[in-house]
Structure formats: C-alpha cells, structure tokens
Structure 1
Amino acid sequence: MTNVKERRIQLSPSLMTMDLDQFKEEITFLDGKVNSYHVDIMDGHFVPNITLSPWFIEQVRKVSSLPLSAHMMVTDAPVWVKKLIDVKCDYICFPSEVANGVAFSMIDDIHAAGLKAGVVLNPETQIDIIKPYIDVIDKITVMTIDPGFAGQKFLAGTLSKIVELRRIREESDLSYEIEMDGSTNLKHWKMISDANPDVYVIGRSGLFGLTDNIEDSWSQMVEEYEQTTGYRFDNGKYQSRR
C-alpha cells in the first residue's frame, strides 16, 4: 500500500459504563485491545452523582496491569488526589474549575509519587484557565458532554479545544496527551477523528451498550469506526484507506 497516512490513537474504556456483572470477563477481553482504563470518581457535590472510588481501582488492579486514569469530578480535589496516590493510580486528573490555588501542589504531589497528573476541561471552561501550569501537566481531558452522567448530549463545539491544544503543544514543544471524553460513538466518530485527540474515552453508547456481549460489541465498534473515519485498525496503528 502506498501513500498511506498512519497515526496512533489510544482507547480508554470508561469502566463506569461497563457491565459490572461481567467485570472480570470484560476486563480480560479488553486487556489485549485497549491502552488504558478510564475511572470516573464523583463525590455527589461537584456533580449530582456518586460513582466509582479508589477502592474500585484496587479491584481492577487484581485483573489488569494496564494504566488506570482517574477522572475526578469532586469539589475537594486535594483530598481525593491523596486517596488516588495511595492506590497508585497511574493518571490522576483533577477538575480545572476547583484547582485555583492548589493546582501546583497537587501536580507536585502526583509527580513526587511517580504518577502522572492530568487536568479536565468541562464544556464551558476555556483553555486559558490551565495556561499557568500547562507545561507541567501530563494529560488534558476535554469533556465533550456535560459531566456527571453517561449518555448526555454531544457538544460539537468543544472539539475546537482539541485542535487548539494540539497547536499549543506543537508550537510550545510540550508533551501532554490530549484526551476526549463523552459520547464517542457511531454518530460522532468522524468529527472526533477529524479533531484528532490522542486518547478516546469510550463508554456505553460506543462500546459496552452495543450488544449483549463484549466480543460482539467490540467488533461492532471497530466496524463503525472504520466505516465513518476511513481509518482501519491494524495492530495499534490506524491506517487510512484513502
């Protein structure tokens, strides 16, 4: 094949949306296919929902050695950072909206523990809020839906942040990963792919809820991705068919 454009992306299933009755089976199947797992930590205050916890991360560790990324939706971020450091979560991502005055100390604590620090931009939050520490962050998560619940409306305007973050990274010679989170599915694969994030968080509408078993759901997700984006899966690379 000549003139093939190649690029790598990372897939990070959102464990909040998996079938917990088939927890071990689904993790075992996905381990050979994805790059990391996305774990939502909600305190019932920052968003009106309570979900997974640092304890859940410990349970995943028993069946998988892949990196785990905690997406905190909490008001008292430093307290939860300490909890996640204790369980050695690979990526600890705090909400930018509550980080003023504590961002550098949280990042320093995470890095001192040998872990990676991330920050989350909710739909209404602009990139400027993280500019003071963008050069010391390891990952930036762009929310493409409102936080707190799966299955919410996709906000296409948020994709411009991914494009802008890629431009900033290239021009400033930075190394953070760009992750997108929210409604990654058949309807939106093409526009998300065009924005070109590094990490795709995939949940119920794009993977776990497609069929009643993970093997068929994975096959359907791959087919939908390939049909809508023009890229094909190939041992971790995504090669253009064009």
Structure 2
Amino acid sequence: MIAPSILNANNMKLGEEIQEAADNGITRFHLDIMDGHFVPNLSYGPELVSAFKKEFPKLTAEVHLMSNNLPVTIPLFVEAGADLIEFHLEATDKVEEWLDYLHAHHVKAGLAISPETPVEELQLYLNKVDQILVMSVKPGFGGQSFNEKTPARVKRIYQMIKENNLEIPIEVDGGIDDQTIKQVKEAGAKIFVAGSYIFKKGPIKQQIQKLEKAAN
C-alpha cells in the first residue's frame, strides 16, 4: 500500500491533489502533524483531519503525530475523526496507556520509531499495536535522504513480529522512491509513505504508477 504524505502536496491545491491520487487507486493518506516542540517544524491541526474526512469520507486518514504533548493532541485528533493515529515511542513514558486509549475510542493505534531508537524497544508493545511506523529520516522535515540502515531495522522488526506469532503491518516513512521502496519491501514492510516523490517529482498519476511498478 502507498500512503502519500500530503505535507509535500501543493497547499493551494490540496483537495485537487488528494482527489487525483484517489482517482489513481490511493485509499490512504498520511497526515504529518508537527507541534513545533517534539520536532522543530509546525504543520497541520485537527481542523485539517476534520475537513479531510468530511470531503473524503471513504479515504483513510492516517495521522502521524509528532508531538510529546499527548494529553492534548491525541484527544483532539481522535475527535477530529482520524482513522489511525501513530504516535512516537520516544514521545511518552505512557505508551501502553495511549495505545489503550486509542482502542477504547475505536481508533487504530500505531507506534512510530525514529532512526536513532533501538528497534528492540518496540518489543513490549507488539501485542497492542495495529501498525508500526519506521522512520527512515529524522522526523520533522520532508524531502530528506533515505537512511541506509532502515532495511536492516525493518527486517529485525519483521522478525520480532513473527517470533511473537503476530501480524502487524510495517510502514516506512522518509526518502521513499522507486529504488528504496524495493529495499524496504524485501525487508518486510507493507506500507510506504511517499511525499516528495509523488507530489513534487512529476505528474501524480505517473509517480504513483512508478512506485507501484517498483514495489511489484
């Protein structure tokens, strides 16, 4: 599955570009939410998620929450209608509580992990997550280069999941193009976040087709 990151879309034509991607088979969109504290950048608020779900009710709104003020931000995005919320393992010492909170509010719960964090730290939470997001770049900025250690990290997480007899999709975010998508798919990833490659490198339809061809 390809999940375009709208952070790299044209904000003045956001609805049009989401529709164009949806017309070319995309069913899930990745919404990067940055608070200016956990990461130095700022992006969207819950109003965007509400507007997205109102305009595109059949599409999945996947919120990548880059915030360490979870008591404020998670309830806001639950209320806004997010289908899945991924928060960072590094953002809280109450990981299990927030996974339970999301499930109690009928929202799928994902855990994101930054490049510098040992993947073994995910082990404690594997039985409660619906998805794992592996960052292949430093969180907070679009357009970064792919971290070469990512495929090995994805492979190790995939092994951990299988060792626990679980089925948890692994998503990779950052530097995904028609070359890196092959590497992380072979390592065990199933969902691929692409922003710059889809929205800034050429016609949206053409870029989606290139990624799909490379992945298959």
TM-score, with normalisation over the residues of structure 2? 0.92
What is the CA–CA distance in structure 1 between the aligned matches of 2:167 and 2:182, rounded to whole Å?
25
| 2:68–2:92 Cα contact (<8 Å) kept | no
Q: SS at the partner of 1:29?
A: helix
For 1:167, give the aligned amino acid.
Answer: Q
| 1:189–1:225 Cα contact (<8 Å) kept | no
Q: SS at the partner of 1:136?
A: coil
| 2:99–2:129 Cα contact (<8 Å) kept | yes
Match of 1:218 among 205, 208, 213: 205
For 1:160, give the aligned amino acid.
Answer: A
Q: Which structure 2 segments of 5+ residues have no match?
A: none
| 1:28–1:63 Cα contact (<8 Å) kept | no
Q: Does 2:131 match 1:144?
A: no
Note the 1:48-67 alignment, pairs <5 A: 48-64=40-56, 65-67=58-60
What is the CA–CA distance in structure 2 between the aligned matches of 1:181 and 1:167, rounded to whole Å?
19
Give the equivalent residue in structure 1 for 2:189: 197
For 1:118, give the aligned amino acid.
Answer: G
What is the CA–CA distance in structure 1 between the aligned matches of 2:12 and 2:45, rounded to whole Å?
17
What is the CA–CA distance in structure 1 between the aligned matches of 2:4 and 2:161, rounded to whole Å?
25
Match of 1:169 among 161, 164, 167: 161
Give the equivalent residue in structure 1 for 2:12: 21
Which of these two proteins has the greater Rg computed from alpha carbons?
1
Q: Which structure 1 segments of 5+ residues have no match?
A: 1-9, 232-242
For 1:18, give the aligned amino acid.
Answer: A
| 1:46–1:75 Cα contact (<8 Å) kept | yes
What is the CA–CA distance in structure 2 between the aligned matches of 1:52 and 1:108, rounded to whole Å?
25
Give the equivalent residue in structure 1 for 2:110: 118
What is the CA–CA distance in structure 1 between the aligned matches of 2:82 and 2:198, rounded to whole Å?
24
| 1:57–1:87 Cα contact (<8 Å) kept | yes
Give the equivalent residue in structure 1 for 2:151: 159
| 1:41–1:50 Cα contact (<8 Å) kept | yes
Q: Deviating runs (4+, > 4 A) in structure 1?
A: none
1:112 and 1:225, CA in 2 relative to 1: closer, same or farther beyond 3 A?
closer
The share of aligned pairs that are identical, in percent, is 28
